[in-house]
Structure 1
Amino acid sequence: VSIEANNGLRCSGSVISPSWVVTVANCLIDLKHTDLRVRVNAVLRGVLGQLYEVLSVTLHPDYDPETMDYDVALLEINGTTNKYVTIAKDVPFDGLNARVSGWGAPSSGEWLSAELSEKIVTIVYFNDCKYIYESIGNPVTERMLCASGTYGGPCQGDAGDPLIYNRELIGMMSWSFGCGDGNFPAVYTDVTKLRDWILGTITLPPIEPKNG
């Protein structure tokens, strides 16, 4: 799904229950829930599908905007949808392929994609990814997983892109080095490590809409 603000794409997310969407916390910094809309079942960016207002935004309490650790947030939408994805319990083995989809720009300086695109990526061995990024001063934590593809890497507009394996959500695009740089693996929030917090939060009593 696309998460929109100011009539434009802010990032992507995934519907995980009839009224809840999961995305990355870094997408929602400095935004109120009233600034946001969620568009479901759309292929063309910003066109058609079902558009929902957002009732509440919940960032993980341990989210660190500097290290991007615990980079996860939940949006409660004003309505329900009957199509959603299951959160996996475990990450697949290193070297296996997964699918990532989104509307991000193909490379630096280019426009966002007008149509939803899907790419095949390969899960990267955690310690290899950790070593690569620690060499340039970027820590990779246990709440992260890495993947790379022959297409290059993620770019503007790819935050929150869902990483799917065997029809289950395993990750969300969190951060990377550069824009479309295939020399560095993309780093995803590992939702399997945050599954308990996600499921525990969406089963709490509904939050009343706030004014403002």
Structure 2
Amino acid sequence: MFIEWIFVISSVLLASAGWISERIVGGYQVPISEVPWQAAFLLNGTADCGAVIYSDKILITAAHCIQNQNKSDISIRVGSSTWNNGGQLLQVDDAEVHEDYSFTKDVVINDIAVIRVKGHLKMGHSVQSIPLAESTPASGSSATVSGWGAVGYSQEVSEHLLQTTVNIVSQEDCQKSYGEGITKSMICAAAQGKDSCSQDSGGPLVSDGQLIGIVSFGTSCADPNYPGVYVNVAELKPWILRAIEKLSCLCAGKV
């Protein structure tokens, strides 16, 4: 999830806080056809984060993945089980980052962004959108998280797409780990030996066929005392829809 920040300016601050970026730990390889909404977020051609397909032009990711980055350095790969080849590769045209995105020494707040790509994704068996959750799943609910991040703390990223299953952790229990900075705009999930980790940031947390979370931050990887923390999609859905509408209007204005 989050402290090997992708921005140089933030990395020093985050390192002092003890966080790390999220990647899949305790996972298994899956074909992209099983998670066709998954996208790879590439910075200068290298896997840096994940993203989630909303439509043929719009994707959702974590704010910390794109904040302060040059759009020309970012590309999105979809429709491939490997981040470095296959599928479709598109450049980022524009992005909207949550205006109240910020971080403290303990938590990351409003870690959400919406991306518009140049051209259109060719939708199909391995490239599909996923609906946004209407409500927050109950504590104990099962969910899956996927990405190309590393398979453990300080380990290499995975070339092949990985997925694992975690369980939703109550806000109260999550606050015992991270403090009261954990709010209803965040959702926590954990399972023994399973977690998202570095360079999975921006990727999907899915339950019952709906996008319930976006990989955001955490302390270590699969640490039993620290669940992974995700953006709560149901809570931030109004902002997401406004951002999508804004980007869509801007796009229409170019025609």
TM-score, normalised via structure 1 length: 0.91
Alignment match, 1:30 = 68
Alignment match, 2:209 = 167
Alignment match, 2:250 = 206
Paired residues of 2:130 and 2:210 also in contact (CA < 8 A): yes
What displacement does 1:39 show? 0.5
Paired residues of 1:3 and 1:36 also in contact (CA < 8 A): yes
Local SS of the residue matching 1:26: helix
Q: Which of 114, 122, 128 is residue 173 of structure 2 equivalent to?
A: 128
Paired residues of 1:27 and 1:159 also in contact (CA < 8 A): yes
What displacement does 1:153 show? 2.8
Alignment match, 2:23 = none
Alignment match, 2:235 = 193
Structure 1: give runs of 5+ residues left out of the alignment: none
Query: RMSD over aligned Cα, in angstroms?
Result: 1.8
- In 2: Cα distance, 1:49 partner to 1:124 partner: 35
Local SS of the residue matching 2:102: coil
Paired residues of 1:123 and 1:148 also in contact (CA < 8 A): yes
Q: Which has the larger helix fraction? A: 2
Query: What do residues 37-67 of structure 1 show as CA deviations (whole Å, max 9, x unaligned)?
Result: 0111110121111001111011000111334
- Where do 1:70-149 residues align within 5 Å? 70-81=110-121, 82=123, 83-134=128-179, 139-149=181-191
Alignment match, 1:14 = 52
TM-score, normalised via structure 2 length: 0.77
Q: Which has the higher contact order (CA 8 A, sep 6+)?
A: 2
Paired residues of 1:68 and 1:174 also in contact (CA < 8 A): yes
Local SS of the residue matching 2:189: strand
Q: Which amino acid is the alignment partner of residue 17 of structure 1?
A: S
What displacement does 1:183 show? 2.9
Pair 106,182 (structure 1): closer, same or farther in 2 beyond 3 Å: farther
User: How many residues end up aligned between the 2 structures?
Assistant: 207
Paired residues of 2:100 and 2:110 also in contact (CA < 8 A): yes
What displacement does 1:98 show? 0.5
Q: Which amino acid is the alignment partner of residue 75 of structure 1?
A: I
